[in-house]
A and B are shown apart, each in its own frame.
Chain A
Amino acid sequence: MKRIVLALALCLAPVAPAFAVQPDEVLADPALEARARSISRNLRCPVCQGESIDDSNAAISRDLRLVVRERIMAGDDDAQVIDFVVTRYGEFVLFNPQANGANLILWLAGPALLLMGGVVAAVYVRRRGQAPAVEAGLSADEEARLRDLMQK
Chain B
Amino acid sequence: MIVEFGHFALVLALAVAFVQSTLPMWGAYRRNTALMALAEPAAIIQFLLVAASFAALTYAFVVSDFSLSLVVQNSHTLKPMLYKVSGVWGNHEGSLLLWSLILALFGACAAWFGGNLPPTLKARVIGVQGMIGLAFLAFMLFTSNPFLRLAEPPLDGRDLNPLLQDPGLAFHPPFLYLGYVGLSMAFSFAVAALIEGRVDAAWGRWVRPWTLAAWIFLTIGIGLGSWWAYYELGWGGFWFWDPVENASLMPWLLAAALLHSAIVVEKRENLKAWTILLAIMAFGFSLIGTFIVRSGVITSVHSFASDPERGVFILLILAVFMGGALMLFAFRAGAMEAKGVFAMVSRESALVANNLLLSVSAFVVFIGTIWPLLAELFFDRKLSVGEPFFNAAFSPFFVGLALILPIGATMPWKRGLVRQSLRPLIPVAVLAFAVGVLVWSMQTGRTALGPVGVVLGIWVVFGTLVDLWSRTGRGPIGGRLARLTRLPRADWGKTTAHAGLGITIFAVCAMLAWKVEDIRVVPEGGSFPIGDYQVTLTKVEQTQGPNYYTTLATMEVRRGDRLVATLQPEKRVYPVQAMPTTEAAIDYGFLRDIYLVIGDPQAGGGWAVRSYIEPFANWLWGGVLIMAFGGFLSLSDRRYRVAAGASRRAAAPNAMPAE
Of all chain A residues, the one with the shortest Cβ separation from B179 is: A10
Asked if A49 is an interface residue, CB under 8 A from chain B, the answer is yes
Asked if A6 is an interface residue, CB under 8 A from chain B, the answer is yes
Taking a contact as CB atoms under 8 Å apart, the answer to whether B229 and A42 are in contact is: no
Taking a contact as CB atoms under 8 Å apart, the answer to whether A93 and B384 are in contact is: yes
Taking a contact as CB atoms under 8 Å apart, the answer to whether A6 and B242 are in contact is: no
Using A6-B73, A10-B248, A17-B163 as known contacts, say yes or no to A97 and B383 having CB atoms under 8 A apart. Answer: yes
Count of chain B residues near A, Cβ 8 A = 97
Using A19-B608, A117-B360, A125-B352 as known contacts, say yes or no to A109 and B303 having CB atoms under 8 A apart. Answer: no
Asked if A146 is an interface residue, CB under 8 A from chain B, the answer is no
Asked if B173 is an interface residue, CB under 8 A from chain A, the answer is yes
Taking a contact as CB atoms under 8 Å apart, the answer to whether B299 and A50 are in contact is: yes
Shortest CB–CB separation between residue B90 and chain A, in angstroms?
Answer: 5
Whole-angstrom CA separation of A93 from B300 in the bound complex: 15
> Which positions 85-110 of chain A face chain B at CB distance < 8 Å?
90-98, 101-103, 106-107, 109-110
Shortest CB–CB separation between residue A22 and chain B, in angstroms?
Answer: 6
> Which positions 311-363 of chain B face chain A at CB distance < 8 Å?
337-344, 348-349, 352-353, 356-357, 359-361, 363
Asked if A74 is an interface residue, CB under 8 A from chain B, the answer is no
Residues of B within 8 A of A17 (CB): 163, 232-234, 580-582
Taking a contact as CB atoms under 8 Å apart, the answer to whether A97 and B371 are in contact is: yes
Asked if A23 is an interface residue, CB under 8 A from chain B, the answer is yes
Binds A, one of B50-58, B482-490, B542-550, B595-603: B595-603
Whole-angstrom CA separation of A107 from B314 in the bound complex: 29
Whole-angstrom CA separation of A101 from B600 in the bound complex: 44
Taking a contact as CB atoms under 8 Å apart, the answer to whether B521 and A3 are in contact is: no
Q: Mark B426-451, 1 if CB is under 8 A from A, else 0.
A: 00000000000000000000000000
**Which of B302, B341, B600 has the most C-beta atoms of chain A within 10 angstroms of its own C-beta?**
B302
Residues of B within 8 A of A48 (CB): 301
Of all chain B residues, the one with the shortest Cβ separation from A106 is: B371
> Which positions 160-177 of chain B face chain A at CB distance < 8 Å?
161, 163-164, 169, 172-173, 176-177
Residues of B within 8 A of A117 (CB): 356, 359-360
Asked if B552 is an interface residue, CB under 8 A from chain A, the answer is no
Taking a contact as CB atoms under 8 Å apart, the answer to whether A8 and B302 are in contact is: yes
Residues of A within 8 A of B339 (CB): 134
Using A18-B234, A19-B597, A49-B301 as known contacts, say yes or no to A10 and B384 having CB atoms under 8 A apart. Answer: no
Shortest CB–CB separation between residue A131 and chain B, in angstroms?
Answer: 6
Whole-angstrom CA separation of A26 from B385 in the bound complex: 27
Asked if B226 is an interface residue, CB under 8 A from chain A, the answer is yes
Q: Tell me the B residues contacting A by CB distance below 8 Å.
A: 73-74, 89-92, 95, 158, 161, 163-164, 169, 172-173, 176-177, 221-222, 225-226, 228-229, 232-235, 237, 239-240, 242-245, 247-248, 270, 289, 293-294, 299-305, 337-344, 348-349, 352-353, 356-357, 359-361, 363-364, 367-368, 371, 375, 378-379, 381-389, 392-394, 397, 519-521, 577, 580-582, 597, 599-600, 602, 608, 610
A-B CB contact pairs (8 Å), 13 listed: A5-B303, A6-B303, A9-B176, A12-B248, A42-B387, A49-B300, A49-B303, A103-B381, A106-B389, A110-B393, A121-B353, A129-B343, A133-B340
| Top 8 A-B residue pairs of the complex, sorted by shortest distance between their CB atoms | A95-B386, A13-B229, A12-B225, A96-B388, A110-B364, A14-B301, A9-B95, A102-B379
Q: Tell me the A residues contacting B by CB distance below 8 Å.
A: 3-15, 17-24, 26, 41-42, 44, 48-52, 55, 90-98, 101-103, 106-107, 109-110, 113-114, 117-118, 121, 124-126, 128-129, 131-134
